Structure 1
Amino acid sequence: MTDMMHLKAIEIISKWLRKSVAGDPKAREEMALGQVNATATSPAPWASKASTR
């Protein structure tokens, strides 16, 4: 599942990056969605046993 979400994030970001940089509001919304897909399944740093606070 994690790999699938990350691949979807790459797909979304690669499709909308240029338009987002150019200032297209729809593209910026899609980039936010790509970011959510990229991080939604990644473990939080504070959840790791190896994490140092």
Structure 2
Amino acid sequence: NRKVHLDKEIIDYTASFGATQVKKEDKVEDIIDRADKALYEAKKAGKNRVVIKA
């Protein structure tokens, strides 16, 4: 967890990311689908995660 001080407010935030390797033969839909699945896997695993799908 991180905190950002913005004016007089303190904002707590977390971040989860999903990424994928792009292959020459991939269709755009396949790339987006893999990255989306990686993101949801990261969210399911908890906060502050990065998941990469090949």
Query: TM tier, shorter chain?
Result: 0.3 to 0.5
Structure number with greater Rg is: 2
TM-score, normalised by the number of residues in structure 2: 0.36
Please state which structure has a larger fraction of its residues in helix: 1
Please state which structure has a larger fraction of its residues in strand: 2
TM-score, normalised by the number of residues in structure 1: 0.37
